[in-house]
Amino acid sequence: MDIFSIITILIVLSAVFAFINTKFLKLPFTIGLMIIAIVFTLGITILGKINHFFIDEAELLIGSIDFETALLDVMLSFLLFAGALHTKLDSLKAMKAPIAFFATIGVVLSTFLVGTMMYYIFILFGHEINYIYCLLFGALISPTDPIAVLGILKDANAPKKLEVKIVGESLFNDGVGVVIFLVIFKIAQKGIDAVDASEVGLLFLEEVAGGIGLGLVAGWLTFRLMKVIDHYETEVIITLALVMGLSMLAHQLHVSGPLAVVVAGIFIGNKSPTIAWSETTHNYVDKFWELIDVLLNAVLFVLIGLELLIITASEEYLTLGLLAIPVALLARFLSLAGPVAIFGKRLDFIPKTNLLMTWGGIRGGISIALALSLEPQMERELFLTVTYVIVVFSIIGQGLTIGPLVKKVIGMSENHEPK
């Protein structure tokens, strides 16, 4: 199937599902689209048992889409830039220390906690899986998905203090998580003896520091270009060129593209509105990236729903997926506990920050994309099914309940405040 046909089908499905959700279900946008896509996929599967034409055509579509490339190499940069563009630096500055801890040490700790717990769960089920492969699973499931988080928190009306922590962490732990995954993936491919500690440290430093540095330079240069002109069409095109050019350059330089795009987006979003952009330009840039964000989010969550077709839905794999849900949540809770305890009083965290950040840490398409990149000998089918179960629960279960949970916790804390 050619690329134009694939894009056309995905956008048509996204438009139809978005209409159904907006008119009838009225669920949060991303959650509604994914639920409808899953129901649609189940319907196709049932029809396929009656007439193979339906399932054959659906599998042809999904088989023609490289989900990993589509998300990690194409869509991710646009979605991260759109989110970073509206992230205020003043709020991030106040929370920079805990966000840095959450996005680095928190992800590393969660990776090892998930990997270790799942290693023993697999043994209980008679699966002798190499520990390094369990760590790979820990690395791909530990980062929260900024795309899912940003979309869902908009509908949850979370307090600003909480939203800044969760969104800030998600924007950065995504890039860090991908780097950790790549490091462990390299070790799994070559063997632990073939990779020394200095090589691992250098790779991590190159990816993270290089991505941040490249983002700062590219953001500053783009800002300077837009400062000397006042032409909104040109400036919108410049921001688009920045995202695409930066992603390609980061890939060529072997540094983290997601981190580079996030840093550039935050830089431009905070400097340009008051210095480089006119009010007209600001309005057009905002609307353009808002539309890109909505469109790509729609396509992404429809794709996640359709990916159900390639999941190995054996009873054992699904059971392991259900067991992995509390494991992932517990690992996140424990990995956040240290930074929350250290910074909680000094930065006046809202009550039960750890609980709310644990439940508000939504897993999404990035985890599925990384699971799809595993090699067959790395228990790809098993980990893909387990990942899909966690992602579906995270987006639907946590996504639909984070708003009520926030309201309940905030309400309880207000009721217990001294009059």
Q: Which of 63, 89, 107 is the last residue of a domain?
A: 63
Return the residue matching tokens 């530990």.
142
- pLDDT tens digit string along 100-146? 999 999 999 999 999 999 999 999 999 889 999 999 999 999 999 87
What average pLDDT does this structure show over 185-192?
Answer: 86
Q: How does residue 175 score in pLDDT terms, banded at 50, 70 and 90?
A: confident
Q: What pLDDT, on the 0 to 100 scale, is given for residue 359?
A: 93
104 and 75 share one domain: yes
Q: Which stretches does DSSP call E strand in 297-362?
A: none
Inter-residue long-range contacts of 217-220, CB under 8 Å, 24+ positions, other chains counted: 218/242, 218/245, 218/246, 218/249, 218/260, 218/264, 219/263, 219/264, 219/265, 219/266, 219/267, 219/268, 220/267
**Contact yes or no for 208/179 (Cβ under 8 A):** yes
Cα–Cα distance, 376 to 416 (Å, whole number): 54
* Residue 42 domain-assigned (yes or no): yes
Domain that holds residue 163: 67-413
What average pLDDT does this structure show over 261-274?
Answer: 95
Say if residue 179's pLDDT is above 90.
no
114 and 22 share one domain: no
327 and 373 share one domain: yes
More confident residue, 414 or 103: 103
Say if residue 151's pLDDT is above 80.
no
Look up residue 291 and give its two tokens. 């539309």
Q: How does residue 419 score in pLDDT terms, banded at 50, 70 and 90?
A: very low
* Residue 294 domain-assigned (yes or no): yes
Residues above pLDDT 70, as percent of the chain? 96
Say if residue 29's pLDDT is above 80.
yes
Q: Which of 45, 63, 81 is the last residue of a domain?
A: 63
Query: Phi-psi region for residue 312, left (φ > 0), alpha (ψ -120 to 50) or beta?
Result: beta
- pLDDT tens digit string along 197-247? 787 788 888 899 999 999 999 999 999 999 999 999 999 999 999 999 999
Q: What pLDDT, on the 0 to 100 scale, is given for residue 416?
A: 56
The three-class DSSP label of residue 86 is coil
Q: What pLDDT, on the 0 to 100 scale, is given for residue 270?
A: 95
**Contact yes or no for 312/385 (Cβ under 8 A):** yes
More confident residue, 155 or 294: 294
To the nearest whole number, what is the mean pLDDT of the chain? 91
35 and 86 share one domain: no
Q: Which of 63, 91, 115 is the last residue of a domain?
A: 63
CATH assignment of the domain containing 284 = 1.20.1530.20
Residues above pLDDT 90, as percent of the chain? 65
20 and 117 share one domain: no
15 and 77 share one domain: no
Cα–Cα distance, 123 to 334 (Å, whole number): 23
* Residue 418 domain-assigned (yes or no): no
Cα–Cα distance, 121 to 114 (Å, whole number): 10
What average pLDDT does this structure show over 90-98?
Answer: 86
Cα–Cα distance, 41 to 310 (Å, whole number): 11
* Residue 94 domain-assigned (yes or no): yes
Say if residue 152's pLDDT is above 90.
no
Cα–Cα distance, 286 to 58 (Å, whole number): 36
What's the maximum distance between 2 C-alpha atoms anywhere in the chain? 68
What average pLDDT does this structure show over 344-354?
Answer: 86
Return the residue matching tokens 């669920």.
27
Domain count, the chain: 2
Q: What angle do CA 391, 66, 171 make, to 5 degrees?
A: 50
User: Counting every residue, how long is the chain?
Assistant: 419
Cα–Cα distance, 111 to 102 (Å, whole number): 12
Q: What pLDDT, on the 0 to 100 scale, is given for residue 238?
A: 98
52 and 73 share one domain: no
Q: What angle do CA 326, 332, 338 make, to 5 degrees?
A: 135
* Residue 340 domain-assigned (yes or no): yes
50 and 163 share one domain: no
- pLDDT tens digit string along 277-301? 999 999 999 999 999 999 998 999 9
What global pTM score does this model have?
A: 0.93
Q: How does residue 99 score in pLDDT terms, banded at 50, 70 and 90?
A: very high
**Contact yes or no for 324/390 (Cβ under 8 A):** yes
Q: What angle do CA 3, 20, 15 make, to 5 degrees?
A: 25
The alpha carbon of residue 32 and the mean position of all alpha carbons in its chain are separated, in whole angstroms, by 18
111 and 26 share one domain: no
* Residue 52 domain-assigned (yes or no): yes
Which of 30, 260, 32 lies closest to 150, judged by CA?
A: 30
**Contact yes or no for 365/174 (Cβ under 8 A):** no
* Residue 344 domain-assigned (yes or no): yes
71 and 55 share one domain: no
* Residue 419 domain-assigned (yes or no): no
What percent of the chain is helix, strand and coil (3-state, nearest 5)? 85, 0, 15
56 and 75 share one domain: no
CB-based burial of residue 116 (10 Å sphere; 0-12 exposed, 13-18 middle, 19+ buried)?
Answer: middle
What average pLDDT does this structure show over 356-369?
Answer: 92
What average pLDDT does this structure show over 10-23?
Answer: 96
Cα–Cα distance, 368 to 360 (Å, whole number): 18
184 and 110 share one domain: yes
